[in-house]
A and B are shown apart, each in its own frame.
Chain A
């Protein structure tokens, strides 16, 4: 790593030198008359600096991003080639082993029986007949299958061990064994293997274990790594020097350095905006792919996910449990999200809109100058503080109040308390956006209304608000999308129970709460339970994206009309 840092510093120095060289050269070409040059001397400096630094740094950056994976691929490919005899021997031993064949046949039989039982169960379910017997059978068969699979895995392990033992106890033998181990490993174990080997070879963190094979793999990486490191460092420096020399040769009085630099600037700006877009795209794609994994895990019953009425992803505790996939009907979450959002909007829209109307149409400049910043402070309160407020103040109060009114089942974590507090959180959002739109309504419309003999409230109600309506609708839609995506308040105040209810005094859960519950803590990212979080996130993302698009379109249309 150090060599790369040194090269990067050297490149920066070269770039600075390139600038000075370019400026000096330009001055000399102009022979003391700067007006003879097409551009100011410093532009020639920038031009040469760009040619010195940009390609070389790009190369170095590419090495930093992809260099180590390149090394890994090359090393492991080399080791796997060396392991070819072992692999051949292993495959031969496996196919010759009578136990292996018997076990495989047994496994095939059990799979067929499972399939048959499953079909029978499905039929019984549709016929609404008794299903308990089938379910018991299915459970036993699954246990059997797992036993046979374990036996097969053990046998493979034994044979592999025996084959590996046959390799000589030399460097070449360890290398072959490393390639063999890597070849047999599952993808996630492969990653771990490489990480451990790198840790041993380059002191990148601590290895999870140290074995002769890992040592051999690590040692095999070292030559590749140093080859790449030195050749990339050399190439970058050569590129820098070459760029400097070439660009210096370009400098002449008529050379349009200023326009060239301008061109590079626009390319750099374009590249940064592309990075922003690609990042977003990457996030979306990772969501999509993980969601696809989830849908595959629930056997593509997407309709069940979108329209199912029962949400209990935590059911599967043991892998061999019947129905271990859990129930992934997300409707209770959608309904809970909708309920809380509706409650929040019931608070935020009237209060936010009316305060915006008051501030922009009625308030004296003095009051406005105090009230606007105060509203904006409300927007700056961290949502976790709102969460406390909902959980410790509003929730208990609402519960007491509901009990006082005779509703005995009231709970502290209710949709109402989460919704009310979320509404308060969104007030400044609605009011500040609406205030902007109302202020954007031309004064001439108000004058027109007053000149017709309208009172203030008539002018506001009949002329200003209709004119501002598209913008206000846009503001409300943006607020809704914020309410849907809000997490902290609902995590603290709404509760985790996926109840399908329209009663605001009961506890409901939202999409965001469930994502938090599913992802936090120690989770393995291969079970349907954890993966369902990504599918939920995808739904959430799609929802807010659509709302934002609609809101922006509406606001844009408003802008076209009055500006």
Chain B
């Protein structure tokens, strides 16, 4: 991490197979340069360089253990919480280095929200779950402001109508799909710029999944979303850009349509047609 190169995000596309987001009509929000992650001896992510567009959904696909979740965790420095994880390379959000010593991961994570595979509402009321972020970051001046944030966040997450009359119930009393939307509302409440989603629908039934996908599409207007998914169909439905990871390396990255209709790499072709993985 000693030599951090600051990238010129306005330059031409980098790498042969990589599309620069600008070429498909978006601004770059997150840019990574040679990001590698090791857990002890095991290399989980090798030299990933990609530019992620703003106000769009970028899907990361690939077989299990290909490093896509690790890549996600590199963006908000969640790998710091794992004892033996070592991260090298550079991650820029709006041109600002994330891995810099001066960056407080606590502040960074307020800017980059995250939603996990299994809904993980805190052992608190629905209200307190959503109010948690604004409270610890001091975003609300008084109770009214906090009420406002909670209501807006729940509305944005499409959950307000279902829980408005039972905000004091425990978050765990909701159904799986509602819990996942509650968790999304919780992430939105601190007004992040980027939202990372690690297989957000894998624990949900098809109806709840459809509801979350709709929500992702709505959120695209205001946020940069990066979503890891095992479902090719989901990636095709919700994302504008798709990145295919294999064995810890980024194999191919481009507009979703292009990846799914005209992949350049044989491995991508094999994966999306279901020949392995």
Given A452-B187, A458-B136, residue A466 in contact with residue B124 (CB < 8 A): yes
Residues of A within 8 A of B123 (CB): 445, 463, 466-467, 469
A450 to B121, CA, bound (A): 13
Option from A453, A462, A463, A561 in Cβ contact (under 8 Å) with B109: A453
Q: Which residues of B contact A445 (CB under 8 A)?
A: 120, 122-123
Q: Any chain A CB within 8 A of the CB of B220?
A: no
CB contacts under 8 Å to B, within A454-493, are: 454-455, 458, 462-463, 466-467, 469
Q: Flag if B76 contacts A462 (CB, 8 Å).
A: no
Report the separation of the CA atoms of residues A258 and B20 in the bound assembly, to the nearest whole angstrom.
71
Q: A445-B122, A466-B122, A467-B123 are in contact. Are A450 and B109 (CB under 8 A)?
A: yes
- CB under 8 Å from chain B, chain A span 418-470: 442, 444-455, 458, 462-463, 466-467, 469
Answer whether A451 and B113 are a contact pair too, CB < 8 Å, given A365-B83, A462-B132, A561-B172: yes
Chain B min CB distance to A431 (Å): 22
Does residue B183 face the partner (Cβ distance < 8 Å to A)?
yes
Q: Which residues of B contact A453 (CB under 8 A)?
A: 106-110, 133, 136-137, 190
Pairwise interchain contact A452-B136, C-beta atoms closer than 8 A? yes
> Nearest chain B CB to A37's CB is how many angstroms away?
47
Q: Is B78 an interface residue (CB 8 A)?
A: yes
- B78: contacting residue among A447, A454, A467, A469, CB under 8 A: A447
Residues of A within 8 A of B114 (CB): 447, 451
Q: If the complex has contacts A365-B83, A466-B123, A467-B123, are A452 and B116 also in contact, measured as CB distance less than 8 A?
A: no
Interface size on B, residues (CB 8 A): 28
- On whether the beta carbons of B190 and A452 are closer than 8 Å, the reply is yes
Chain A residues with CB under 8 Å of B187's CB are 451-452
Cβ of A454 and Cβ of B106 under 8 Å apart?
yes
Find chain B residues with CB under 8 A from A447 CB: 78, 81, 114, 116, 120
Separation in Å of the A368 CB from the closest CB of chain B? 11
Residue in A442, A445, A451 whose Cβ sees the most chain B Cβ within 10 Å: A451
Which residues of A have CB within 8 Å of B106? 453-455
Q: Is B186 an interface residue (CB 8 A)?
A: yes
Measured CB to CB, the closest approach of chain B to A149, in angstroms, equals 71
In the complex formed, the residue of B with least CB distance to A468 is B123
B54 vs chain A, min Cβ distance (A): 21
Beta-carbon contact of B120 and A452 below 8 Å: no
Q: Residues 524-559 of chain A: 1 if any B CB is under 8 Å from the residue's CB, otherwise 0?
A: 000000000000000000000000000000000000
Task: Report the minimum CB–CB distance from A363 to chain B (whole Å).
Answer: 11
Main secondary structure of the interface of A (DSSP, over half): helix
| Chain B residue at minimal CB-CB distance from A441 | B123
Cα A170 to Cα B113 with chains together (Å) = 106
- Give the chain B neighbours of A449 by CB distance below 8 A: 122
How far is it, in angstroms, between the C-alpha of A525 and the C-alpha of B128 when the chains are bound?
62
Judging by beta carbons under 8 Å apart, are B78 and A452 in contact?
A: no
B190 engages A442 (CB within 8 Å): no
Beta-carbon contact of B120 and A442 below 8 Å: yes
Contact, CB under 8 Å: B122 / A451 = no
A450-B123 Cα distance, complex, nearest whole Å: 15
| Whole-angstrom CA separation of A54 from B77 in the bound complex | 67
**Distance of A453 Cα from B186 Cα, bound (Å):** 12
Q: Which of B81, B118, B124, B190 contacts A450 (CB 8 A)?
A: B81
Which chain A residue has the least Cβ–Cβ distance from B117?
A444
Determine the distance from Cα of A462 to Cα of B186 in the docked complex, in whole angstroms. Answer: 15
Most buried by B among A444, A449, A450, A561: A450
Given A447-B81, A447-B116, A561-B172, answer yes or no on A452-B124 (Cβ-Cβ < 8 Å).
no
Q: Which residues of A contact B122 (CB under 8 A)?
A: 445, 448-449, 462-463, 466-467
Q: Are B118 and A444 in contact (CB under 8 A)?
A: yes
Please determine whether A451 and B136 come into contact, CB atoms closer than 8 angstroms: no
Docked complex Cα distance between A43 and B231 (Å): 52
Q: Output the residue of B81, B186, B187, B190 with the most chain A CB within 10 A.
A: B81
Task: List, in ascending order, chain B residues with CB within 8 A of A462's CB.
Answer: 122, 132, 136
List the A side residues contacting B186 at CB < 8 Å: 448, 452
Shortest CB–CB separation between residue A471 and chain B, in angstroms? 12
Interchain nearest-CB distance for B132 vs A (Å): 6
Q: Let me know if A444 and B120 touch, CB within 8 A.
A: yes
Q: Is the CB of B81 within 8 A of A448?
A: no
Of all chain A residues, the one with the shortest Cβ separation from B124 is A466
B225, chain A: closest CB distance, angstroms: 15
Contact string, B156-187, partner A, CB cutoff 8 A, digits 1/0? 00000000000000001000000000010011
The reply to whether A451 and B83 contact each other, CB–CB distance below 8 Å, is no
Known contacts A445-B120, A463-B122, A561-B172: A450-B183 contact under CB 8 Å = no
By a CB distance below 8 angstroms, the chain B residues around A458 are 136
9 CB contacts below 8 A, A to B, read: A445-B123, A448-B186, A451-B187, A453-B108, A453-B110, A453-B136, A455-B106, A462-B136, A466-B123
Binding site for A on B (CB under 8 A): 76, 78, 81, 83, 106-110, 113-114, 116-118, 120-124, 132-133, 136-137, 172, 183, 186-187, 190
- What 9 A-B pairs come out closest when comparing CB atoms? A451-B114, A453-B109, A444-B120, A453-B110, A448-B120, A467-B123, A466-B123, A452-B133, A453-B106
Chain A interface residues (CB < 8 Å from chain B): 364-365, 442, 444-455, 458, 462-463, 466-467, 469, 561
**9 extra A-B contacts, CB within 8 A, seeds A442-B118, A444-B118, A452-B190:** A447-B116, A448-B116, A448-B186, A449-B122, A450-B78, A451-B187, A453-B106, A454-B106, A458-B136
